[in-house]
Structure 1
Amino acid sequence: MHIEPNLVEAGKLWLSYVTAAGAGAYTLKLAAQAMGERGVFSLLARTVTATALVFSFFELLPHHPVGVSEVHLILGSTLFLLLGAAPAAVGLALGLLIQGLFFAPFDLPQYGMNVTTLLVPLFAVTALAKRIIAPNTPYVELSYRQALGLSTAFQGGIVAWVAFWAFYGQGFTAENALSILTFGSAYMTVVILEPLLDLAVLAGAKATHRLRGSTLLERRLYQAA
């Protein structure tokens, strides 16, 4: 995943436990709200879908080592728009955990850092969506500018957290800073691509009217707030 082994030494991992616990607590809050709004079945169904998609993103989509980390196409804003904040958050956490348990056990010590790096930017997307998307606008009607804003918040947040962990683990050296800059620059290609994918997915959802009102999708996808 994003935080590679040995980037942060074992004695400093305690901070990742704290940040992951905070992210986990907020995820539980979102899940409780979603359960109250749509019921247990809807939350579970969307969470299973999100987990399967996240695992597929990690294992099947291209990912290349660049600088201090790897460049991934995770599509966090897409998950948020289609499935909602709580399922997306739980799906990111579970998909990452499944990958670590069965395919990349060497990444498990970095799980706290990696899950923080994914979830906190997703929470930022959730907050930003409330500010830039009018309450009477269903997600299928989003503009490219709005999709770009959400994608930038998610991907930019990932870059910021990777930079934080790299500086925390390796210090403020010129070599480390250059490696972080290289990674961040490469990640901006994802910011360009993800909004286009978001709009393509939303256009497909808009054309598929029979999914309107489905418990398997975020209600805001087709309806106003």
Structure 2
Amino acid sequence: MDILKYYLILILIEHYFTTSLEYIINKKVNFYIKYYKTNNTSKKKNVIIQLTRENDKEIKIVKYPNPILRKKCEEVVNFDENLKNTIRSMFNIMYENKGIGLSAPQVNISKRIIVWNALYEKRKAENERIFINPSIVEQSLIKTKAVEGCLSFPNIEGKIERPSIVSISYFDLNGNKHLKILKGIHSRIFQHEYDHLNGILFIDRMTQSEKKKIKAKLNQLIHEYKNIYSETPAI
């Protein structure tokens, strides 16, 4: 459907519809336009238009002990618009949850994708990092400890020891391969999210004494999961 037809539809919606409705605009690609009437005293109504694909998954944070967090993710094959949309959605939900890094399995997508923005408060494209089908080529013998948290483990933190420097390879949104050396917080964020792609969680890298401190909170997450889902939790 060309752009002119879309504009005509939007005009019709704004001027003639007064109740909530949903129309299928193009069955071939399963696009929907949703119109929501809002309470507004002005003559011109506030109109919110949302275009989505029928088969899009709802993007939300997956919490421990959901089994997907224990699965090894598949490589990305298609570098297309769907991939770009998925990554944009990942950034959005990461920001909504005040995170600085996120992996695809944390939003119920078993693909080898990592996004992050170490400068959380500066949500600009130049601060955003995307790693598709990443791998660790080499890592330093020198290790450092630091406190880590995870969006899949709300209100849980622990000290984790990791290599200080890693050399990595990855692909960008256009399918181009890159090599990069990461240090400091960038190295730590990458390793944390990279573990997710292999079904490894940050609690697996905690010492027994660190894990003991968070045992009650972990048990609470397991209890909450069992109350909601019938499938066996992956602890």
Normalising by structure 1, we get a TM-score of 0.28
Considering fraction of residues, name the structure with more helix: 1
Considering fraction of residues, name the structure with more strand: 2
Identify which of structures 1 and 2 has the higher relative contact order when contacts are C-alpha pairs closer than 8 Å and 6+ apart: 1
The structure with the largest alpha-carbon Rg is 2
